[in-house]
Amino acid sequence: MVKVGTNVLSGPDGRPNRERIVSLSRQIARARTNDRAVVLVSSGAVGAGLDLLGLDRRPTDLAHLQAAAAAGQARLIRWYDESLRTHGLRAAQILLGADDFRDRTRYLNARNTLATLREFAAVPIVNENDTVSTAEISLGDNDRLAVMTAGLVPEPLLILLTSAPGLCDGDPEKDGNVISLIERWDDGLFRLARSTGTRLGTGGMASKLEAVRDAAAAGVDTILADGREDDVLDRIADGQPVGTLIRGEPGAPTAWKRWIGFTLLPAGEITVDAGAVRALTERGRSLLPIGVTDVAGEFPRGGPVRILTVGGREFARGLSNYSSNELRRVAGRRTDQIAELLGGVPDDTVVHRDNLTLTRPAAG
C-alpha cells in the first residue's frame, strides 16, 4: 500500500512533475510479483487541475478545490495510465469517500474490487472522491485514506512517500538523523514531528504520525520514506533499510474489529470510569452501563462511538447497543435498574467485546 503526497508529485514551481509519475510507475511495475500486489493512494488531483483552470495556486474554498480536483483527477489518471502501459499495466481508478467506509456493504464492495483487480494487469489508484466530499464527511487527508484503505487488503505494508527522509531525531536540514526503526509506537514520537506541508499539500509530518499511530494499533507496519528518490520503492521491495520503519502492534485485530476501530467514523463519545477501563483493557470484558460516566454526540443503536477515559483519552471504539438518548438515561446504573427507566433492556452491554476494538493504550 503506497501513498504518495502532493509535495512529492509536484516540481519546484508547484506544477505536476510527470517524470516523478513515470519513475513511480516504473518502480510499481517492478515491485509487483505473483505474491505481491501494489495499491497506490495518490494525491495530486488538485495540483494537476490548477493550470487546466488557469489557477496559479491551490484554492482555499471548497467549491474551487472541488473544481480543480474534478479537472485534475482525469488528467492525473491519464498520466499514470500512460506511464504504466509502457510496462504492460493499466491504471484502475478508485474514488472513495467517508460513506464508502462507513457503510458495511459499500466497504465490502470496495474490498472485493481491490481483490478482483489482482487477477488483471491493473494497478488500483485510490483517491478521495473530492468532488462530492464536504467538511463534515471528508476523510481529512490521504494519509488517513491510506490507512483506511490498508484495511481493505490482506497483510498490508503501508509506505508513506513524503518530502522528508523519514522520522528524524532533529531538524533534517541541520543535524537531525533518520530513525531507522521504531519497534513500538509511543505518543512521544509526536514531539519529533516537523511540518513538511506546502501550499499544495494538506498534511505534514504530524498528520502522517497520526495515521501511523492508527496503522500501528491495527497491526500494520509502516515505512516513512523520501518519495523524491528515484529508487525508493525498488530499495524497499529489495528489503533494504529505507527511511523509518514503524512496527505494528503484535496480535492484529480481526478484519471486523479493524473496520470498527480504524475505519468507521465515530458519531459520538462515551466516557467511562477507571473500573470500566480496566475491565475493557486488561480483562477483555464488555462495557456495561454502570461504567459509563458521560455521553457526547448523537447516535442511534448500533452507532459507532469513541470510548474515552475520564481524562478524555480515547482508548477504544465500538458499536453501541444503546442510542445516545437511552444511554444518557442509564449511565452509571446497574443492569437491573434499566428496565424500569426504559421500559425494557435493549442489551445487557453498552458495547459488547465482540464489537469493541482497543485503539491505543489507556494511559501514557
Q: How far apart are CA 232 and CA 243, in angstroms?
A: 9
Q: How far apart are CA 203 and CA 143, in angstroms?
A: 8
HEC assignment per residue over 317-348: EEECCCCHHHHHHHCCCCHHHHHHHHCCCCCC
Q: How far apart are CA 60 and CA 73, in angstroms?
A: 18
Strand 181-182 relative to strand 157-162, pairing: unpaired
Name 181's bridge partners.
Answer: 245
318 annotated as ligand-binding: no
Q: Among all chains, which residue has been given the C-alpha cell 471504539? A: 317
Single out the residue of 139, 192, 129, 149 nearest to residue 2, CA to CA.
Answer: 149
130 annotated as ligand-binding: yes
**What residues contact residue 46 under an 8 Å CB cut-off, 6+ apart?**
6, 58, 59, 65, 68, 69, 72, 130, 200
Q: How far apart are CA 25 and CA 42, in angstroms?
A: 12
Please, what sign has the CA dihedral across residues 257, 262, 265, 269? positive
User: By the 8 A CB rule, do 285 and 260 touch?
Assistant: no
* Dihedral angle, C-alpha 28, 31, 34, 36, nearest 10 °: -90
202 annotated as ligand-binding: yes
Q: 17-31 burial string, b = 16+ CB within 10 Å, else e?
A: beebbbbbbbbbbeb
Neighbouring C-alpha atoms within 13 Å toward the C-beta of 66: 11
Name 223's bridge partners.
Answer: 159, 245
For residue 173, CA distances in Å to 165, 197, 246 come to 10, 15, 22
User: By the 8 A CB rule, do 337 and 330 touch?
Assistant: yes
3 annotated as ligand-binding: yes
For the chain, report the end-to-end CA distance as a whole number of angstroms.
30
The identity of residue 328, as a single letter, is R
208 annotated as ligand-binding: yes
142 annotated as ligand-binding: yes
Q: Residues forming the annotated binding site?
A: 3, 43, 130, 142, 202-208
> Which positions make up the binding site for substrate?
43, 130, 142
Which residues carry a binding-site annotation for ATP? 3, 202-208
